[in-house]
Chain A
Amino acid sequence: MSIDAKKPAAVKPNRRAAPPGSEGTIMRKAGDWARRGPLLPALVFMIIVTQLPFVVTIIVSFMNWNAYYPDERGFAGIDNFRRVLTDVNTRHAIWVTILLTAGVVLISLVLGLLIALLLDRKFRGRGAVRTMMITPFLVVPVAAALLWKHALYNPTYGLFNGVLKWIFGDNAPQPDWISNQPLWSIIFALVWQWTPFMMLILLAGLQSRPLDVIEAAGIDGANQWEIFRYMTLPHLRQYLELSALLGSIYVVQNFDAVFTITSGGLGTANLPYTIYQTFYTAHDYGRASAAGVIVVIGTIAIATFALRSVSTLFREETGK
């Protein structure tokens, strides 16, 4: 196992370059197109399906367009943006999105690391424990959200309150989990699903450690903590970054859990849910698009930062 962050094919720069020479630029150009050929279908497909709609979103974001009032369609200037940015609900949704993403990614990253460390040892039934651990990730997200909402959190017949009754008898407290802590209810359900994801990547990282070096450090008198702090953790850094980046990409867009567990109520509407509602329920196309544009700008700002860290990894590997 190795993290191939990204040992590129161009390690030997000219290994398959067109033969240099006097054949002239026409030949080289033909060669360039022959190289591009296999790439084009995928590239064109992606541009049409993912970039074109976004251009339309930008155009609609400057329009006054509500499907309920078709006669009033027209140019709106920056009106939609002003309304979105001054709207209390949108601001709250931005905050919820940040809390939800940071909460889920950080908690599941720490838990995932601890569990990966537990599983990085030989013991009876290690394979079985690993299989049990990944099960939550293999439950369809909507089904997982339904499971938490109805079978676990429900105040009258959910398992959590059932266990409380088992332990404390008939006078046990029977809290309404979702109403009391709506955002944490969603975060816990998502942590349960995403911890296995983090654990799998980090476990693969742990198992790719050079064991001889670690044994040598042990013989030289380094204790377990020192080995973890100065050898394991630096080695795991790129795996931690990779799993945090990928986890964030998915959790920031979460719709399923918010939709299922609280239906965006109780102050848990994140940005994807808010935009979905503005467009699907309120039919305010202009405003939904403006919100979409703002989300994309925010994402680009964060993603540029994230991509830079990934691409640093990339360069480091190329440099070797």
Chain B
Amino acid sequence: MSGQVTIVTGKKNRGGGFVLSGVAWIVGILFVLPVLWMLLTSFHSEENAAKNPPDVTAPLTLDGYRSFFDSGPWPSIANSLTASILSTALVILLAFPAAYALSIRPVKKWTDVLFFFLSTKMLPVVAGLLPIYLFAQSVGFLDNIWLLIILYTSMNLPIAVWMLRSFLSEVPVEILEAASVDGASLTRTLRSVVAPVVTPGIASAALICFIFSWNELLFARVLTGTVAQTAPVFLTGFVTSQGLFLAKVCAASIVVSLPVLIAGFAAQDKLVQGLSLGAVK
């Protein structure tokens, strides 16, 4: 870190620290700059957005957003919300009892089960895509939001099981023993004894599952059409630059990213817990 300056006096050291803080600020600004650029461009008129060199001080307008919303994105945004929220709820519903059976009252070989869950995350999604497509086609399930809900649940369940297990294993034994002595049933124990202790863990798991479902493209692209199309699939309409309107693309990208940006900013610490599968608390 402040390698060379440590030998000298405290005053110099503070100077080195000042430089490092400056570097940190510059790096942070560099990383956020593309997003700020996208935000600024989204408020420019198409004519000004395509200028080279760019015109930073061009007058601001909502035309980009207007033209995006005129192209009918609401059904796909609604589909994304449905798929993300329902699959997240389903994930927690399945993962919570499973995590209980892997930590508090562990089954035999619980480590093997835990690693089975993780190993499904390593199976390339694309390898199972064809059978799912053929199955959905044969039972008339293509372009149906429920298909995505089920697939997103399977995609996120391992993450939630790992996270919740790591939280549940911190529930004090005494509380559980007391509940068991009082003759509480399993559901009651889970609901009124364990759940309150692990609520932060559930919140982290839910946040991360929501983000991953919201972002997913491959399944949605292959398995949905006009009816169940999600927001990322809607965005792929902007892939070719033919007749491209840069301000509109930027407005679209901002709007679609907004739920994730808000959720992520609001719960930065939960984000870390979720990303590390609960290993970092």
Contacts and interface: CB of A to CB of B under 8 A. Distances in A.
B58 interface: no
Contact of A143 (B97, B170, B218, B256): B256
Interface string B69-90: 0000000000000000000000
Contact of A200 (B38, B158, B271): B271
A224 B124 contact: no
Interface residues of A, number: 122
Contacts of A195: 31
Contacts of B130: 53, 56-57, 60, 279, 285, 288-289, 292
A265 to B, nearest CB: 11
Nearest to A155: B52
Contacts, number: 350
Interface in B227-271: 231-232, 235-236, 238-239, 241, 244, 246, 249-250, 252-254, 256-257, 260-261, 264-265, 268, 271
B34 A32 contact: no
Nearest to B29: A132
A295 B120 contact: no
Interface of A: 1-10, 12, 15-16, 32, 34-39, 41-43, 45-46, 49-54, 56-57, 60, 115, 117-119, 121, 123-126, 128-144, 146-152, 154, 156-157, 159, 161-163, 165-166, 192, 195-197, 200-201, 204-205, 208, 223-225, 228, 239, 242-243, 246, 249, 252-253, 255-256, 259-260, 263, 271-272, 275-276, 279-280, 285, 288-289, 292-293, 295-296, 299-300, 303, 306-307, 310-311, 314
Interface of B: 1-3, 6, 17, 20-21, 23-25, 27-29, 31-32, 34-35, 37-38, 41, 49-54, 94-95, 97-98, 100-108, 110-111, 113-135, 150-151, 153-154, 157-158, 161, 165-166, 168-170, 173, 176, 186, 190, 211, 214-215, 217-218, 221-222, 231-232, 235-236, 238-239, 241, 244, 246, 249-250, 252-254, 256-257, 260-261, 264-265, 268, 271-272, 275-281
